[in-house]
């Protein structure tokens, strides 16, 4: 289905169909220019909420933990339900000193020094998956490569047995209703519960037989002198498996989709005319896999002269901020050499994504494997979009790879020399 454009007075940003069926480029441009703080009105089913579209305003709210809280939910699905069950326990929906202590625990486990062996495993896994796909020629990149990289990585970190990983991948997709508009909220809720129950069993195992994994680290950690409860550990594992899979997976899928659509940018990457780190920033900006985050005002305040009342919901639309003409030169141009690039795909401020370093490793290894093993690729079928008011991207991407014989041979020689 071709996306249609919409007018600002007909858009409901709480409705997943808005994003699956419409091109919102002009909508966001209009909001940034004329209504940067817009009210999305209530319906009979849900309350209304504020919509921020400018980069500067969104950055300001991300920094402002005095006027806004994450503890009543940080995305529309929980904000509109009246709160998040993980509030005060799960890092993403915890504020204040407890958030700082939880964050330190996770950052120690997800920092560059600790992740060196993990990064090596990401590289080996990614290169093997891409090599195998190039050898086959045709594949569904989303299913056969992109879904395998982040789930393998985060499962290795958490110590999830290989036999359970397909189950977890299926549950994470269902939990966010990302791949099938036939999935209703009840099915999504059941999937979320399945993930929580799974990790409850795993936490109980690691309490008695700790290993070298992140679950064991969390199970042995303390906050304010008290051990983390099973619920604390389970909820943070849930957050890591959901966030660690979706952001990287959707960005990788979008990067291949966009490189196929912009062959001149693929040529720059292939020829080494742009740095990998710079390219990673641009594919993150372009994909904006998490379209929004949200906060609740804890007191009356103002944004751009608009009064925000206590307890009102404010949504921060990264998908708009990452195309803001006030920050990015020619923002609707896909430019792998873009610098500076103030993309905020991972958020900003106190809640900046703790897994961002790992996600960047995954995306960069994918781009390098593509550069080394294929001379080019093209789409061979439709790329259906996810149906979500949170996630942006495609859940299927049929492609045909053309092998780089010289690159494959160089890799064979390097592998044989080890």
pLDDT at 6: 63
pLDDT band at 418 (very low <50, low <70, confident <90, very high): low
366 alpha-carbon distance from chain centroid:
16
pLDDT at 44: 84
CA nearest 389: which of 3, 8, 18? 18
Q: Cβ distance 21 to 15 under 8 Å?
A: no
Tell whether the model's pLDDT for residue 349 goes beyond 70: yes
Residue 2: CB partners within 8 Å, gap ≥ 6? none
pLDDT at 10: 79
Q: In the structure encoding, which two tokens stand for residue 219, read together? A: 């199970």
pLDDT at 113: 79
pLDDT at 131: 97
Give the predicted TM-score (pTM) of the model. Answer: 0.93
DSSP per-residue letters across 351-368: G--TTHHHHHHHHHHHHH
Q: Cβ distance 388 to 126 under 8 Å?
A: no
pLDDT band at 45 (very low <50, low <70, confident <90, very high): confident
pLDDT band at 310 (very low <50, low <70, confident <90, very high): very high
Average pLDDT of 40-63? 96
Please list the residues that pair with 317 across neighbouring strands. Answer: 292
pLDDT at 417: 54
Q: Cβ distance 199 to 234 under 8 Å?
A: yes
% of the chain with per-residue pLDDT over 90: 80
pLDDT at 112: 81
pLDDT at 244: 85
pLDDT at 51: 99
Tell me the per-residue pLDDT of 201-245, one tens digit each, with 9 for 90 and over. 999 999 999 998 999 999 999 998 999 999 999 999 999 988 888
pLDDT at 202: 94
Tell me the per-residue pLDDT of 130-150, one tens digit each, with 9 for 90 and over. 999 999 999 999 999 999 999
Average pLDDT of 368-387? 96
- By residue range, what is the domain housing residue 290? 4-417
Tell me the per-residue pLDDT of 252-267, one tens digit each, with 9 for 90 and over. 999 999 999 999 999 9
pLDDT at 333: 98
Total domains in the chain come to 1
Tell whether the model's pLDDT for residue 378 goes beyond 90: yes
Task: Supply the CATH number for residue 199's domain.
Answer: 1.10.630.10
CA nearest 38: which of 322, 313, 326? 313
Cis bond leading into 340, ω under 30°?
Answer: yes
Question: Within a 10 A sphere around the Cβ of 277, how many other Cβ atoms?
Answer: 11
pLDDT at 42: 94
Q: Cβ distance 313 to 296 under 8 Å?
A: yes
Tell whether the model's pLDDT for residue 375 goes beyond 60: yes
Whose tokens are 């009840």? That residue is 186
| C-alpha distance from residue 299 to each of 69, 193, 213 (Å) | 10, 33, 41
pLDDT at 108: 86
pLDDT at 218: 94
Tell whether the model's pLDDT for residue 93 goes beyond 90: yes
pLDDT band at 181 (very low <50, low <70, confident <90, very high): low
Average pLDDT, the chain: 93
Tell whether the model's pLDDT for residue 28 goes beyond 90: yes
Average pLDDT of 302-323? 98
Tell whether the model's pLDDT for residue 24 goes beyond 60: yes
Tell whether the model's pLDDT for residue 2 goes beyond 60: no
pLDDT at 1: 42
Residues 232 and 246: their CA atoms lie apart, in Å, by: 21
In the β-sheet with 49-52, what is the strand arrangement from edge to edge? Answer: 37-40, 49-52, 313-317, 292-297, 68-69
Residue 405: CB partners within 8 Å, gap ≥ 6? none
Average pLDDT of 156-174? 89
């Amino acid at each position: 289905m071709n996306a249609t454009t919409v007018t600002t007075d007909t858009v409901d940003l709480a409705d997943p169909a808005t994003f699956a069926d419409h091109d919102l480029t002009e909508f966001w441009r209009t909001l940034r220019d004329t209504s940067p703080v817009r009210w999305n009105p209530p319906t009979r089913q849900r309350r209304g909420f504020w919509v921020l579209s400018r980069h500067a305003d969104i950055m300001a709210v991300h920094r402002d933990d005095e006027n806004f809280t994450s503890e009543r939910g940080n995305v529309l699905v929980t904000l509109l339900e009246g709160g998040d069950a993980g509030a005060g326990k799960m890092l993403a929906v915890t504020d204040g000193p407890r958030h700082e202590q939880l964050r330190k625990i996770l950052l120690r486990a997800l920092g560059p020094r600790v992740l060196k062996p993990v990064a090596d495993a990401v590289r080996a896994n990614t290169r093997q998956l891409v090599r195998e796909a190039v050898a086959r020629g045709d594949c569904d990149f989303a299913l056969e490569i992109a879904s395998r990289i982040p789930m393998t990585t985060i499962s290795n970190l958490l110590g999830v047995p290989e036999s359970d990983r397909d189950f977890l991948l299926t549950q994470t997709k269902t939990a966010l209703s990302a791949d099938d508009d036939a999935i209703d909220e009840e099915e999504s809720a059941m999937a979320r519960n399945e993930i929580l129950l799974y990790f409850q069993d795993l936490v109980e195992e690691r309490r008695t037989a700790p290993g070298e994994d992140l679950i064991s680290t969390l199970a042995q950690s303390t906050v304010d002198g008290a051990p983390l409860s099973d619920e604390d550990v389970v909820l943070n594992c849930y957050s890591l498996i959901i966030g660690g899979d979706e952001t990287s997976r959707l960005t990788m899928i979008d990067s291949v989709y966009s490189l196929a659509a912009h062959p001149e940018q693929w040529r720059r990457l292939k020829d080494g005319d742009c740095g990998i780190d710079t390219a990673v920033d641009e594919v993150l900006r372009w994909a904006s896999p998490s379209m929004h985050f949200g906060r609740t005002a804890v007191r009356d305040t103002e944004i751009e002269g608009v009064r925000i009342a206590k307890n009102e919901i404010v949504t921060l639309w990264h998908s708009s901020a990452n195309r803001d003409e006030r920050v990015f030169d020619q923002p609707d141009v896909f430019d792998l050499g873009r610098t500076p690039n103030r993309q905020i795909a991972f958020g900003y401020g106190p809640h900046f994504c703790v897994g961002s370093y790992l996600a960047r490793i995954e995306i960069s290894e994918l781009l390098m494997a593509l550069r080394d093993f294929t001379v080019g690729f093209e789409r061979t079928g439709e790329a259906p979009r996810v149906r979500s008011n949170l996630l942006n991207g495609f859940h299927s991407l049929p492609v045909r790879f053309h092998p780089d014989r010289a690159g494959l041979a160089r890799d064979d020689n390097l592998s044989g020399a080890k």
